[in-house]
Amino acid sequence: AERADRMLQPLEQRIEELRQAFNAEQTLRKRYHNQMQDLKGAIRVFARIRPAVKREVGEPLVVRKQDAFSLEIDSKDPRQPPKVFNFDSVFDEHSSQEDVFAECRGLVASAIDGFNVTVFAYGQTGAGKTHTMYGSESAPGLVPRISDELFGILHKYAHECQAKVQCSMLELYKDDLV
């Protein structure tokens, strides 16, 4: 038993050293992640172009993705040039739910680090807000993906810490909170 204790002592010491190194790395990860989020900005605006609906098929496109950060909208007056709008990210009609989630995934880490996070969709009826936020069973939107990511991480570290999650979901429809 005495021999086993002597053999165990260096291993326990090594475990403690590794635990301290892990905690230091976690602190650095948290700091660097939040610095990166600060550099991106506290408010980020994305635009998503929805695919054409049946009645629009064959019609000329009036909204086009120019590049990863801008889109152009044709003027009603064909003599005027298209207007260009800049965003933090632009998703075209071919972008998947996973593409949109990939841009938002970092917000989950911010929430776990204790920061308040808000994601909201804005646009006219039929613009694709519900699809982006909720999606379908075959193509889940942001709400189920963020929930899965958040609770997956919390479950993974449940033995190390406790967490309280508070979530509010609101819908404004025709100036009424529903």
Q: How far apart are CA 123 and CA 130, in angstroms?
A: 10
Task: Let me know whether 121 and 80 are in one domain.
Answer: no
* pTM, rounded to two decimals: 0.75
* Domain-terminating residue out of 75, 94, 113: 94
Burial (CB < 10 A; 0-12, 13-18, 19+), residue 153, is middle
Task: Let me know whether 5 and 58 are in one domain.
Answer: no
Task: Let me know whether 29 and 51 are in one domain.
Answer: no
Task: Let me know whether 106 and 87 are in one domain.
Answer: no
The pLDDT confidence band at residue 82, using thresholds 50, 70 and 90, is very high
pLDDT at 102: 96
| 141 belongs to an annotated ligand binding site | no
Task: Let me know whether 85 and 107 are in one domain.
Answer: no
Task: Let me know whether 112 and 52 are in one domain.
Answer: no
| 27 belongs to an annotated ligand binding site | no
- SS3 of residue 147 by DSSP: helix
Q: How far apart are CA 118 and CA 151, in angstroms?
A: 17
Task: With a cut of 90, say whether residue 144 has pLDDT above it.
Answer: yes
Task: Let me know whether 72 and 127 are in one domain.
Answer: no
> 1: domain range?
1-42
Task: With a cut of 80, say whether residue 5 has pLDDT above it.
Answer: yes
Task: Let me know whether 70 and 121 are in one domain.
Answer: no
Chain segment 100-129, per-residue pLDDT in tens: 999 999 889 888 888 888 999 999 888 999
- SS3 of residue 98 by DSSP: helix
The pLDDT confidence band at residue 39, using thresholds 50, 70 and 90, is confident
pLDDT at 125: 87
H or E segment to which residue 71 belongs = strand 70-73
pLDDT at 136: 96
Cβ partners under 8 Å of residue 140, min gap 6: 97, 134, 148
| 118 belongs to an annotated ligand binding site | no
DSSP 8-class letter at 135: B
Task: Let me know whether 84 and 149 are in one domain.
Answer: no
- SS3 of residue 72 by DSSP: strand
Chain segment 91-103, per-residue pLDDT in tens: 999 999 999 999 9
| 130 belongs to an annotated ligand binding site | yes
Task: Let me know whether 122 and 176 are in one domain.
Answer: yes
Count of domains forming the chain: 3
| 128 belongs to an annotated ligand binding site | yes
Task: Let me know whether 178 and 168 are in one domain.
Answer: yes
| 123 belongs to an annotated ligand binding site | yes
